[in-house]
């Protein structure tokens, strides 16, 4: 029987395939009920091994388990694809705040974790009270600023770590992953550039 941590990791990766499939034009023309059937069927398909390897298992070898934050964003994006009439779950301000947070975390984590200098911030993910307090303060500050996506992402990641939903014992792996970090850095750069250009024109 597959361990829960494997199932959790593979489900997150299955969302990537489902989101890609949901972008196909014919899916957009399906009724809501058929879209849901499409997603459930697609989930089963990407989890079923073909010649000993499922699409989710293959992707897991390439990128590892996605963070809880990635899963939250993928699930939100998939919901938007399936139910476009409902409108976006989070507005630009919410998304911008989360992307800024993720970009900051990525810049703080990856260069040092890959060997720049003697200190490794990844170490703080192993049960550091300091990291938890910092994240708690950040989540509370975001709530006070009427943000919901950022505190929700942080709280979900911390909960996932508390219940050991993934193989990793390190909190950083629940908050952030490399593909998400690249996406956040790219998107934040675009947002900042747009703001700078708009400011110049004004």
Question: Which residues contact another protein (rule: CB under 8 A)?
Answer: 2, 6, 9-10, 52-53, 57-65, 109-110, 113-120, 122-123, 125-129, 132, 135-136, 139-140, 143, 146, 148, 151-152, 154-156, 158-159, 161-163, 166-173, 176-178
Least distance CB 56 / another protein (angstroms): 8
95: nearest Cα among 149, 157, 156: 149
Closest to another protein by CB, 162 vs 195, is 162
Least distance CB 16 / another protein (angstroms): 14
Question: Helices 178-201 and 92-113 meet at what angle, rounded to 10?
Answer: 120
Least distance CB 100 / another protein (angstroms): 19
Closest to another protein by CB, 30 vs 76, is 76
Least distance CB 193 / another protein (angstroms): 26
Least distance CB 43 / another protein (angstroms): 15
**HEC assignment per residue over the chain:** CCCHHHHHHHHHHHHHHHHHHHCCHHHHCCCHHHHHHHHHHHHHHHHCCECCECHHHHHHHHHCCCCHHHHHHHHHHHHHHHCHHHCCCCCHHHHHHHHHHHHHHHHHHHHHHCCCCCCCHHHHHCCCHHHHHHHHHHHHHHHHCCCCHHHHHHHHHHHHHHCCCCCCCCCHHHHCCHHHHHHHHHHHHHHHHHHHHHHHHC
Least distance CB 53 / another protein (angstroms): 6
Closest to another protein by CB, 15 vs 22, is 15
Closest to another protein by CB, 170 vs 187, is 170
Closest to another protein by CB, 52 vs 199, is 52
Across-strand partners of 53?
A: 50
Closest to another protein by CB, 23 vs 167, is 167
């Amino acid at each position: 029987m597959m361990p829960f941590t494997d199932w959790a990791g593979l489900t997150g990766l299955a969302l990537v395939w489902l989101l890609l499939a949901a972008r196909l034009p014919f899916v957009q023309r399906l009724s809501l009920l058929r879209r849901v059937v499409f997603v459930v069927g697609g989930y089963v398909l990407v989890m079923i091994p073909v010649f000993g390897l499922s699409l989710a298992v293959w992707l897991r070898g390439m990128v590892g388990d996605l963070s809880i934050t990635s899963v939250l964003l993928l699930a939100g994006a998939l919901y938007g694809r399936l139910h476009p009439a409902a409108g976006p779950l989070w507005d630009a301000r919410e998304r911008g705040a989360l992307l800024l947070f993720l970009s900051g975390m990525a810049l703080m984590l990856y260069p040092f974790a890959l060997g720049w200098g003697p200190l490794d911030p990844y170490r703080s993910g192993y049960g550091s009270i300091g990291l938890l307090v910092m994240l708690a303060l950040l989540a509370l500050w975001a709530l006070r600023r009427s943000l919901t996506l950022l505190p929700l992402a942080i709280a979900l990641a911390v909960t996932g770590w508390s219940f050991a939903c993934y193989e990793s014992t390190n909190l950083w792996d629940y908050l952030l992953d490399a593909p998400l970090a690249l996406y956040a850095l790219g998107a934040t750069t675009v947002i900042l550039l747009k703001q700078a250009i708009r400011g110049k024109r004004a």
